[in-house]
């Protein structure tokens, strides 16, 4: 599916699971769901999120290279990292760094493999629940929605990574009419879920 479809359905999935009751909560939950819906395609060179991951990795490599040019050793760099973690009063920094590393690794894997797997979804939830707990559930809901949507088309995904077999239902193509339908469905569902959670109306009033 296209990125906009994953974003729309990711937002709807997050709002459905979390059901926030404030405007701020709706915005935060939808944003986290959108991020999760897009995150899986970090392994696709065509996406902006992949390019940002490459840029981030380039920055990290540049910092390490500068450290070596200034006479630092690998041991010095490792000790500096360990010192930063040990001096941090909040362990969330550690789990956030691991999550960031996980995403960078995912960016260099083959498309529709690791980042589209159950292992990836569980890892995102585990690390985010410790790095920034409020975003863990909506972000993971977005990730799961992406995986489910990509199961529908003919390309298939490596759902049970590291096992190499791909799962696919071949119900539709990744573009076309079904993709457009799911995009508008995600947009509509997001608005309806947001309005309902804020008390604008109830399901009983609709049905």
More confident site: 178 or 182: 182
pTM recorded for the entire structure: 0.81
CA nearest to 115, candidates 60, 50, 178, 186: 50
As to burial, measured by CB atoms within 10 angstroms (0-12 exposed, 13-18 middle, 19+ buried), residue 150 is buried
Structural domain count of the chain: 1
For the chain, give the percent of residues with pLDDT over 70. Answer: 78
Average pLDDT score over the chain: 83
β-strand partners of 167: 157
> Taking residues 164-192, what's their average pLDDT?
86
Between the alpha carbon of residue 73 and those of residues 64, 70, 127, 156, the distances in Å are: 10, 9, 29, 44
The parent domain of residue 91 ranges over 3-206
């Amino acid at each position: 599916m296209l990125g906009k479809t994953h974003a729309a359905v990711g937002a709807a999935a997050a709002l459905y699971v979390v059901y926030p009751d404030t405007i701020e909560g709706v915005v935060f939950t939808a944003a986290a769901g959108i991020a999760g819906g897009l995150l899986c395609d970090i392994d696709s060179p065509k996406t902006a999120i992949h390019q940002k991951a490459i840029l981030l990795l380039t920055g990290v490599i540049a910092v390490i290279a500068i450290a070596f040019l200034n006479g630092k050793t690998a041991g010095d760099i490792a000790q500096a990292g360990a010192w930063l973690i040990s001096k941090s009063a909040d362990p969330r920094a550690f789990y956030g760094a691991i999550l960031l590393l996980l995403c960078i690794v995912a960016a260099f894997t083959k498309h529709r493999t690791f980042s589209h797997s159950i292992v990836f979804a569980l890892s995102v939830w585990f690390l985010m629940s410790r790095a920034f707990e409020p975003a863990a559930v909506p972000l993971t809901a977005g990730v799961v929605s992406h995986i489910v949507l990509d199961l529908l088309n003919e390309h298939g995904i490596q759902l049970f990574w590291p096992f190499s077999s791909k799962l696919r239902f071949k119900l539709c193509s990744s573009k076309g009419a079904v993709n457009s339908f799911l995009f508008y469905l995600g947009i509509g569902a997001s608005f309806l879920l947001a309005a309902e959670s804020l008390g604008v109306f109830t399901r009983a009033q609709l049905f």
